[in-house]
Amino acid sequence: MIELDPTDKEILRILQKDAGITHKQLSDQLYKSVATIHERVRRLKTLGYIKKTVAILDRRKIDRNLIAFSQVLLNDHAADTLRGFEEEVVKFPEVMECFQMTGSFDFILRIATRDMDAYHEFYRHKLATLPNITTVQSFFVLSETKSDTAYPI
């Protein structure tokens, strides 16, 4: 891994908060030329520090009012079973994140649906149809105190 200098780190800090900022605006903030900023951003992308640039939507405005965290326990822990579950669950548009975990459950999913009825449909007709699932335990978000996508650098 290449060591980042202070300018690279500041570029990453700024882009995490607003990826829509122009190279000109970045150059003004960092007192660097636009060409320098352009080259540094390109290099950070090439090196994989910047995986992609996205717009973060207000989920309520697109009718995704219910967030569930579902813990999933599989009945088998063979590599093929784990990989098969991952390959299938990521196909569901309701699944926003999937993490393999240590502890009592194998995976935790963050699921976004319109409402409880939509979650029930997702559960019955998608999640519960996957093979090797022993248990699914879901928790529903009542309020959101913090939701950040920026990592401290």
pLDDT of the residue at 112 = 98
Q: Supply the pLDDT for residue 139.
A: 98
Q: What is the pLDDT of residue 2?
A: 80
Q: pLDDT at position 3, please?
A: 87
**Looking at domain 59-140, which of 3.30.565.10, 3.40.50.300, 3.30.70.920, 3.40.50.10890 is its CATH number?**
3.30.70.920
Token pair for 7: 């300018």
Where are any strands of DSSP class E within the chain? 66-74, 95-100, 107-113, 133-140
Answer positive or negative: Cα dihedral of 23, 50, 6, 21.
Answer: positive
pLDDT digits (tens, 9 = 90+) for 21-34: 999 999 999 999 99
CATH code linked to domain 6-46: 1.10.10.10
Q: Where are the domains of the chain?
A: 6-46, 59-140
pTM of the prediction? 0.89
Taking 70 as the pLDDT cut, the residues of the chain under it are none
Fold match between domain 6-46 and domain 59-140: no
